[in-house]
Amino acid sequence: MGSNASGDDFDFDWDTEDELEISEIPFCGSNLPNPTCGDVSCNGEGSSSAHSSNSKLIQDFVGMGFAEKLVVKAIEENGEGSAESKILETLLTYSVLENSTEAENQCIESDHSSSDYLEGFLSDFSDVESWSVDEDKENADSLSEKEKNLRSLEKMGYSADLVKEAMNRCPDAPLAELTDFIFAAQLARADGAHLPAEIKPKVNYTCSGNGELKKRRLYAELYERKKHRGMLEEDGEMIRLPKPMVGFGLPTDDYSKIVRERTLPEQAMGPPFFYYENVALTPKGVWDTISRFLYDIPPEFVDSKYFCAAARKRGYIHNLPIHNRFPLLPYLPLTIHEAFPLTKRWWPSWDTRTNLNCLQTAIGSAKLQDRIRKAVENNDGEPPAHVQKYVLDECKKWNLLWVGRNKVAPLEPDEFELLLGFPRNHTRGGGISRTDRYKSLGNSFQVNTVAFHLSTLKPLYPDGINVLSLFSGIGGAEVALHRLGIPLKNVVSVEISEVNRNIVRCWWEQTNQKGNLIDFDDVQMLDANKLESLMGSIGGFDLVVGGSPCNNLAGSNRVSRDGLEGKESSLFYDYFRILDAVKSITHRGYV
């Protein structure tokens, strides 16, 4: 989640209208706050004449928070004219000597940008309803300071290992310093995970109270790692996200201008057909890996803002025909005011949004809504630019709508259903909580987008289709096929969430499906023997569809964005395993 930091540590590109992306950390110190010093000028003018030719280089490193005399020493050690990366490596080596006199006397800025960032960072967690820091207020008075810190860190969602490490390394540190330590460790681990062991820098992060300086050192190191990683991968052809994300075309396109053919590898051809989905904005190299496993088929990247009023940038790999696609009718509204006309009366002229951002699994809290109301009401007439920016950033982040004079509110679950193309009340009732509805909907397909892609199956299966639905969620693929008029003969649905399985079962019964719904709760338990038995009993699968968890891929995840090595997102390999087994069983005969 993002923050409202006034510092320059991070910036969010809201133009993506999708998952939050951490921007690249600049190497040059000109974009970092300018530190002030007591006895040495930070602009390099106090450098000795022996180093005057390196004044710009010294200025850049001093701007990153290193003491000038350490910079000069590093340049002397490496020789004048040395590469910046070597000088930076030497400076980072110096910096880990936390107990040295030189490290204690670094000149740093006192503009509180670190504390401003941390305040914003922590406030994000307090703005998510499921992470309310006031939840156990009644018992807080009886806890020690250490226990309070431990409980607060656990509620923020940090792993037990990181919390334990922080508490051990910083036993008497306040909560802000513990959070700063964990944040730095997460950044280092997440970025270093992509490097071979022999080139991973070893940095000893400690809680010295010098948070801003440590953070700048860390950012500089991460920049160098990113450069090194880029050099390691430059020989590989990386998949690029297209602009605009329209895949092989949209319902409104002139099909005479669409690519008429695409070549599929022989081993990828169907039947069975398959369809795989995940977030478009993944860590570098993830889509290359997914494509390589799925028979080297390039992804079709589509943003669902062309199908509804909310952005949803997704990649799809499939072996479906691409000609004669047709959309679900009627079309969904494509703008906020078309989808929610009552908001137009209260919409301020300076809020220029026409589409909503990607629908997430959490919503902005009542406390955040109240802060926005007060921020707008405290200004007569149109708020000043900085207030407008704050309000717009929060509205984009949490998809807030104007529902009254100076009043914003989050989308209701019924409004999520509308935007995602599900029938009204699809997730309502049956003991399902409001929080579970948001979670289920935020992780689902956008039905109209998926239906457009699957529509080419209708003439191929007029009598019905057998579907293996992996990571079924709330049945987005099943709803899409049903609305396309493709009879569902047999659906084997695999979904870990009991809440989601109940939603799909309820929809199945409410829509009077004539076929059979067979459900399982764990893809990892679906082995070749089980698949062969299922295929023998129903006559094989015509379509294998699903989207493995994006938990460790999405840009909004700052805690464990570990790519396909992450605990949840590594389940992609089970999608491939099962698909490959289905294809193998199909080709050798299963009856």
pLDDT tens across 422-469, in order? Answer: 999 999 998 899 999 999 999 999 999 999 999 999 999 999 999 999
DSSP lists the bridge partners of residue 468 as 492, 544
Q: Measured on CA atoms in the order 312, 315, 321, 324, is the torsion positive or negative?
A: positive
Give the integer Cα–Cα distance in Å for 267 and 168: 53
The reported pLDDT for the residue numbered 339 is 97
Query: What is the rounded average pLDDT of the residues 369-386?
Result: 89
The reported pLDDT for the residue numbered 165 is 75
pLDDT of residue 495 exceeding 50, the answer is: yes
Q: What is the largest CA-CA distance in the chain?
A: 87
Q: What does the H/E/C string look like for 311-353?
A: CCEEEEEECCCCCCCCCCCCCCCCCHHHHCHHHHHHCCCCCCC
Query: What is the rounded average pLDDT of the residues 254-268?
Result: 72
Q: Express each pLDDT in 353-375 by its tens digit.
A: 999 999 988 899 999 999 999 99
Which residues, 6 or more positions from 139, have their beta carbon under 8 angstroms from its beta carbon?
none
pLDDT of residue 23 exceeding 80, the answer is: no
Amino acid at 435: T
Q: Where is mean pLDDT largest: 193-197, 202-206, 222-226, 277-281?
A: 277-281
Enumerate helices (H) and strands (E) in the chain, giving the number of each. 21, 9
Higher pLDDT, 501 or 186: 501
Q: How confident is the model at residue 559 (pLDDT cuts 50, 70, 90)?
A: low
Q: Express each pLDDT in 141-192 by its tens digit.
A: 566 777 777 777 766 656 677 777 777 777 777 766 676 666 566 555 544 4
- pLDDT over 70, % of the chain: 64
pTM as predicted: 0.63
Strands (E), 230-304: 273-279, 300-303
CA 226 vs. chain centroid, Å, equals 19
Q: Which domains does the chain have, with CATH numbers?
A: 17-209 (no CATH), 271-301+313-331+422-588 (3.40.50.150)
The reported pLDDT for the residue numbered 77 is 78
Give the integer Cα–Cα distance in Å for 104 and 336: 54
- In this structure, of 22-26, 337-341, 496-500, the range with the lowest mean pLDDT score is 22-26
Q: Looking at the annotation, which residues are catalytic?
A: 550
Note every long-range contact of 565-570, with CB atoms under 8 Å and residues 24 or more positions apart, other chains counting: 565/193
Give the integer Cα–Cα distance in Å for 404 and 402: 6
The reported pLDDT for the residue numbered 318 is 96
Give the integer Cα–Cα distance in Å for 513 and 576: 29
Closest to 127 in 3D by CA, of 321, 428, 360, 444: 360
Closest to 547 in 3D by CA, of 440, 461, 472: 472
Q: How confident is the model at residue 4 (pLDDT cuts 50, 70, 90)?
A: very low
The reported pLDDT for the residue numbered 83 is 67
- pLDDT over 90, % of the chain: 43
Q: How does strand 273-279 pair with strand 543-546?
A: parallel
Query: What is the rounded average pLDDT of the residues 243-268?
Result: 79
Q: Is 533 exposed, middle or buried (0-12, 13-18, 19+ CB in 10 A)?
A: exposed
Give the integer Cα–Cα distance in Å for 148 and 170: 15
Provide DSSP, 362-417: --B-HHHHHHHHHHHHTSSSSPPHHHHHHHHHHHHHHT-EEEETTEEEPPPHHHHH
Q: How confident is the model at residue 94 (pLDDT cuts 50, 70, 90)?
A: low
Average pLDDT over the chain reads 75
- Look at the block and give the residue holding tokens 């969430």: 497
